[in-house]
Every structure is written in structure tokens, then in C-alpha cells.
């Protein structure tokens, strides 16, 4: 069965769509899948056994992106085209069946919206296909040391929704100090390529002997395998937050101008905490802050995050 699965450009949205792909694979024998997605998300799908090809859709003029995909796919007679981007593309190629997701209004989580919009019955929770090579590499990076690992993801695709670097520093000092929840823990700082400037103040504050620098230094799925082994991950609302949650790590997501009703981390070991103001109120001021880091996260104090961490650690053992 030939399936064309058109996922999202952004990493987080692509991860949230992964459960829909998993649903299709669980119900399809002899699937041959082609995935189209953004370049950052491409590695998510390359390790899926049924995926024969991943087509990166690079940023550029809208027509150029879709024309390029059409040229790559028009020669195949598809059994199913799934489009998570709500376009008319599915009707430009030959296919026996088409399912197109268009973002609805309302407060539902994006995972549930995708499930309902594509008419999928049953579980569509996000998942990762982490391979043995990535887990072996994670073992090399983290080693066998008994001290727990606290992961921090202080970056975001839009700097104003990133929690302030100095608050991440205050948080890890409180959590890993003698009286903290994770005394002596090593600190893994995670980020993607091109995000080092936002993460650097946190990296600089971590003592070298306890610092694990994974800001753009490892492939995406190796990073996922490392996050899988962490005792706790504290992350801005970002693709890395969803990566850690889908890997099964205890994750606390930090929210301000983004809406946790749509984008809270999913999973039994995930939780979130947000700033005082609503996402709508914060977004109404977005034009005043440009791209200033942490500009819309001032209403989330360190103490509230520490309390939320304590509750999450108590729940996840």
C-alpha cells in the first residue's frame, strides 16, 4: 500500500502528527510510505521501518514548495494521501483515498484535533522510532554514572516565548543543590542547530564537570535517546519539549504566549505550568516586543516552576 504522508514544517507539529502515522501503520499491511515534511523534522521519520523515502520541504516561495513536491510524487499512483497541512495538494496527484486535516477552531489538543480531522478511531498519541544506534550513542554520552540527569531546553522557535535564561539557572541551582529534588544531578542543555545564542547563558552557568552540551551537537534522534534517559526535562513550549515527552521522559513544559490547550506535552509523565496572563493577552502584546528573548514570559516565577517540578517528580517516582 503506497501512502503519501504530508506532515508539518515545524518539529513540534511533526511530532504531534506522528501518532496519526503510527495509527495508519498499525492498520496497514505491506505499507510503503513517503513522508514530506520540513528539513528539521525529516529525521523523525527516517527510522520508521515502513518509510521508504522522506522528502524535505524547504522554506521558500509557497508555490515552489508545493510544485517541488508535486514533481516528486505525481508519477506514483497512491493508495492514500494524508495531508496535515490542509492544502488542496491531495487532489493534484492520483490517489484512491485522501484525508486532509484542516485546523478547527476550539480548545482541543492538536493530537485530538488531528485524530478527529482525519477520521481515525482509537489511540493516536505521538511516538518516536528511536533506533539501537541512537541509544548506544546516548549511552556513550551519558555513561553509567549513578547521578541523575536534569535536562533543560531553554530555546524556542520564537525567543519571546522562551523563559529567561537566568530563571533556568536559578531553577537548576535550586533543584541540584544539597536541599534540592535532584542533588548533584548533571545538567544536560538541549537545543537545535542555530539556537546556541539563546542557550549560551545557561551553558555558561553550569559547572563544566556537570555540563552535557547537546545544543546542536547531536542528530535529532540521538538527542531523543538522551532525553529518554533523563530523570527530568524542563522545556519551553518547543519541538524539544514534544520530543522529550514522546520519548517517555518526565517533562515539564513552560507556557506563556502559546496555548497549552493545544500544545501541552502529551503522555502520562508530562505536565505543564504557565504564566499568570492568558496566551491571548500575551499575544496581543507580541507586536511590541519584536524578538526580545523572554519578553512574554515574565509572569512565570521560578517558585511556581519548582513547585510543579516537585509534583511531577512525586508522580513519576
DSSP string, 253-275: EEESSS-HHHHPPPSTTEEEEE-
Three-state DSSP state, 207: coil
CA distances from 63 to 30, 36, 81 (A): 33, 15, 19
Spatial distance between the Cα atoms of 97 and 81, rounded to a whole number of angstroms = 6
**Tens of pLDDT along the chain (317 residues)?**
999 999 999 999 999 999 999 999 999 989 999 999 999 999 999 999 999 999 999 877 777 889 999 999 999 999 999 999 999 999 999 999 999 999 887 889 999 999 999 999 999 999 999 999 999 999 999 997 778 999 999 999 999 999 999 999 999 999 999 999 999 999 999 999 899 999 999 999 999 999 999 999 999 999 999 999 999 999 999 999 999 999 999 999 999 999 999 999 999 999 999 999 999 999 999 989 988 999 999 999 999 999 999 999 999 98
Strand partners, 31: none
pTM of the model: 0.96
HSE-up (13 A, CA, CB side) for residue 6: 26
Nearest one of 230, 270, 276 to 257, comparing CA atoms: 276
Secondary structure letter of residue 187 according to DSSP:
E
Confirm or reject CATH 1.10.390.10 for domain 136-316, answering yes or no: no
Secondary structure letter of residue 134 according to DSSP:
H
Q: What are phi and psi of 271, to 5 degrees?
A: -150, 170
Sheet holding 32-37, edge to edge: 51-56, 32-37, 2-6, 78-83, 95-100
Nearest one of 262, 261, 268 to 246, comparing CA atoms: 268
Confirm or reject CATH 3.40.50.720 for domain 2-117, answering yes or no: no
Three-state DSSP state, 188: strand
CB 190 within 8 A of CB 153: yes
Nearest one of 20, 244, 228, 3 to 110, comparing CA atoms: 20
Cite the residue boundaries of each domain of the chain with CATH code 3.40.50.2000.
Answer: 2-117, 136-316
CB 85 within 8 A of CB 8: yes
Amino acid at each position: 500500500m503506497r501512502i503519501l504522508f504530508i506532515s508539518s514544517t515545524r518539529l513540534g507539529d511533526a511530532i504531534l502528527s506522528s501518532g496519526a502515522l503510527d495509527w495508519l501503520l498499525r492498520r496497514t499491511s505491506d505499507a510503503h510510505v513517503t513522508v514530506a515534511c520540513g528539513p528539521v523534522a525529516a529525521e523523525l521519520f527516517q527510522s520508521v521501518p515502513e518509510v521508504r523515502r522522506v522528502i524535505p520541504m524547504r522554506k521558500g516561495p509557497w508555490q515552489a514548495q508545493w510544485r517541488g513536491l508535486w514533481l516528486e510524487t505525481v508519477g506514483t499512483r497512491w493508495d492514500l494521501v494524508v495531508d496535515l497541512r490542509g492544502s488542496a495538494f491531495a487532489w493534484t496527484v492520483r490517489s484512491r483515498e485522501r484525508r486532509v486535516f484542516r485546523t478547527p477552531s476550539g480548545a482541543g489538543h492538536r493530537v485530538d484535533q488531528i485524530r478527529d480531522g482525519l477520521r481515525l478511531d482509537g489511540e493516536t498519541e505521538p511516538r518516536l522510532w528511536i533506533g539501537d544506534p541512537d541509544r548506544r550513542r546516548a549511552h556513550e554520552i551519558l555513561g553509567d554514572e549513578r547521578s541523575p540527569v536534569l535536562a533543560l531546553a531553554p530555546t524556542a522557535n520564537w525567543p519571546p516565548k522562551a523563559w529567561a535564561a537566568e530563571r533556568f539557572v536559578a531553577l537548576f541551582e535550586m533543584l541540584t543543590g544539597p536541599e534540592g529534588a535532584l542533588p548533584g544531578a548533571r545538567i544536560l542543555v538541549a537545543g537545535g542547530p542555530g539556537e546556541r545564542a539563546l542557550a549560551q547563558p545557561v551553558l555558561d552557568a553550569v559547572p563544566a564537570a556537570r555540563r552535557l552540551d547537546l545544543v546542536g551537537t547531536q542528530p535529532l534522534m540521538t538527542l531523543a535517546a538522551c532525553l529518554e534517559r533523563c530523570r527530568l526535562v524542563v522545556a519551553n513550549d518547543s519541538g524539544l519539549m514534544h520530543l522529550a515527552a514522546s520519548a517517555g521522559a518526565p517533562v515539564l513544559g513552560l507556557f506563556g504566549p502559546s496555548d497549552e490547550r493545544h500544545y501541552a506535552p502529551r503522555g502520562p509523565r508530562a505536565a505543564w505550568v504557565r504564566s499568570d496572563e492568558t496566551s491571548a493577552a500575551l499575544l496581543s502584546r507580541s507586536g511590541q516586543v519584536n524578538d526580545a528573548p523572554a519578553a512574554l514570559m515574565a509572569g512565570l516565577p521560578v517558585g511556581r516552576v519548582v513547585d510543579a517540578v516537585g509534583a511531577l517528580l512525586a508522580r513519576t517516582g
